Amino acid sequence: YGTTPGIKIRRKQRLLVAVDTSGSVSDEEVQRFFSEIYQIWRHGAEVLVVECDTAIKRQYPYRGHAPEFVMGRGGTEFNAPLEFANRHYHPDGVIYFTDGYAPAPRVESRYPVMWLITPNGLPENTGVWSQLPGRKVKMKGG
């Protein structure tokens, strides 16, 4: 109405964060994943955690603390979280914490994807690394 300025509403970023809980990912690496997830959440993102190995084992909104245990510990396949994002969650982006040891996904994500690969995970000079869609970041050791 007239010259009254509007209120600017800023929406939180809505992120699907996939956590690789396969047998090749150590408990220490999973703890590190959740430390990083905490930092993302602390900066104001709305985070849906998806625990997965060859399939999604469970999903839940992140509320600032790591679960007591994770579900999974089988093999690794990257398709299920990307398919879930495409069909059901519709995030602003997908962050995938993994050691990277799996075939490249067959599912094409409709959303930007960032892969955070463990320090001892998939080497950067491999075919699978180059086939992972989106941005790839090797986590620093320590």
pLDDT digits (tens, 9 = 90+) for 62-118: 999 999 999 999 999 999 999 999 999 999 999 999 999 999 999 999 999 999 999
pTM (2 d.p.): 0.92
Give the pLDDT score at 4. Answer: 57
% of the chain surpassing 70 pLDDT: 92
Average pLDDT, the chain: 94
Amino acid, single-letter form, for residue 80: A
Interacting residues of 130 by C-beta distance below 8 A, sequence separation 6+: none
For residues 62 and 17, is the Cβ–Cβ distance under 8 A?
A: yes
Give pLDDT tens digits for 103-128.
Answer: 999 999 999 999 999 999 999 999 99
Per the listing, tokens 């075939």 go with 103
The token pair at 22 is: 């396969």
Q: What is the CA radius of gyration of the chain?
A: 16
Give the pLDDT score at 11. Answer: 76
Number of CB atoms found within 10 A of residue 59's CB: 16
Q: Cα 68–85–40 angle (5° rounding)? A: 50
Per the listing, tokens 């999604």 go with 56
Q: Which of 8-12, 22-26, 39-43 has the lowest mean pLDDT?
A: 8-12
pLDDT of residue 2 exceeding 80: no
**What residue spans define the domains of the chain?**
14-138
Q: Which of 8-12, 43-47, 53-57, 97-101 has the lowest mean pLDDT?
A: 8-12
> At the fourth CATH level, which superfamily is domain 14-138?
von Willebrand factor, type A domain (3.40.50.410)
Give the pLDDT score at 141. Answer: 84
The token pair at 63 is: 């509320």
pLDDT of residue 39 exceeding 60: yes
